[in-house]
Amino acid sequence: MDLPFLIKGVIIGFSIAAPVGPIGVLCIRRTLTEGRLSGFISGIGAATADATYGMIAGFSLASISNFLTGQQIWLRLIGGLFLCYLGIKTFITKPSDESVSSNKQGLIRNYLSTFLLTITNPMTIISFAAVFAGLGIGTIQSNYLSSSILVIGVFVGSGLWWLMLISTVHVLGKRFDTTRLLWVNKLSGIVILIFGFIALASIWGRNFI
Q: What is the 3-state secondary structure (H, E, C) of 104-132?
A: HHHHHHHHHHHHHHHHCCHHHHHHHHHHH
Q: Which amino acid is located at 46 in the chain?
A: A
Write down the pLDDT at residue 40.
Answer: 94
DSSP SS3 for 101: coil
Residue 135 predicted with pLDDT over 90: no
pLDDT at residue 29, rounded to an integer: 87
Q: What confidence score (pLDDT) does residue 127 get?
A: 74
Asked whether residue 62 carries a pLDDT value surpassing 60, the answer given is: no
- pTM: predicted TM-score of the whole model, two decimal places: 0.75
pLDDT over threshold 50, residue 209? no
Work out the pLDDT band at 96, boundaries 50, 70, 90.
low
pLDDT at 140: 47
The Cα 71–Cα 69 span in angstroms is 5
Residue 60 gets the label, from left (phi > 0), alpha (psi -120 to 50) or beta, of left
Higher model confidence: residue 12 or residue 100?
Answer: 12
Give per-residue pLDDT as tens, 167-197: 998 888 777 666 667 777 788 888 888 888 8
Distance CA 47, CA 66 (A): 22
Say whether pLDDT at 142 is over 50. no
What is the per-residue pLDDT for 100?
47
Residue 199: pLDDT over 50:
yes
